[in-house]
Amino acid sequence: SRAYVQVQNGCDHRCTFCIIPFGRGNSRSVPAGVVIDQIKRLVDKGYNEVVLTGVDLTSWGADLPAQPKLGDLVMRILKLVPDLPRLRISSIDSIEVDDNLMQAIANESRLMPHLHLSLQAGDNMVLKRMKRRHLREDAIAFCQQAKRLRPDMTFGADIIAGFPTETEEMFDNSLRLIEDCALTWLHVFPYSVRNGTPAARMPQVAGQDIKRRAAALRAAGAHQVRQHLTAQRGTTHRILMESSRMGRTEQFTEVTLSADQPEGEIITAQITGMLGETLTA
Cα gap 205→108, rounded to integer Å? 44
How far apart, in whole angstroms, are the C-alpha atoms of residue 120 and residue 159?
Answer: 4
- pLDDT band of residue 25 (cuts 50, 70, 90) is confident
Q: Please tell me what DSSP assigns to residue 202.
A: S
CA torsion angle 225 229 230 231 (round to 10)? 110
80 pLDDT above the threshold of 70: yes
Is residue 147 pLDDT above 80, yes or no? yes
**Mean pLDDT along residues 52-75:** 96
Across the range 58-75, mean pLDDT stands at 96
At residue 100, does pLDDT exceed 80?
Answer: yes
Read off the pLDDT band of 23 (50, 70, 90): confident
What does pLDDT average to over the chain? 95
At residue 153 the predicted structure's pLDDT band, cuts being 50, 70 and 90, is: very high
At residue 26 the predicted structure's pLDDT band, cuts being 50, 70 and 90, is: confident
Is the model more confident about 109 or about 26? Answer: 109
Alpha helices in the chain (DSSP H): 20-24, 32-44, 70-80, 99-107, 124-130, 136-149, 168-180, 207-232
Structure confidence at residue 15 (pLDDT): 83
Conformational region of residue 95, where left means phi above 0, alpha means psi within -120 to 50, and beta covers everything else? alpha
pLDDT of residue 263: 95
Strands 236-241 and 183-190 come out as unpaired
Span 267-279, mean pLDDT? 96
pLDDT > 80? residue 120: yes
Residue 101 has pLDDT above 70, yes or no: yes
| Amino acid 140: pLDDT | 97
CA distance linking residue 19 with residue 28, whole number of Å: 17
Better pLDDT: 1 or 69: 69
Q: Residue 250 pLDDT > 90, yes or no?
A: yes
Question: Is the separation of the CB atoms in 10 and 25 below 8 Å?
Answer: yes
Kindly report whether the global pTM for this prediction surpasses the value 0.95.
Answer: no
Per-residue pLDDT at 21? 66
* pLDDT, average across residues 39-60: 96
Q: What is the CB-side half-sphere exposure of residue 176 using CA atoms within 13 A?
A: 11
Could you give the 3-state DSSP secondary structure of residue 107? Answer: helix
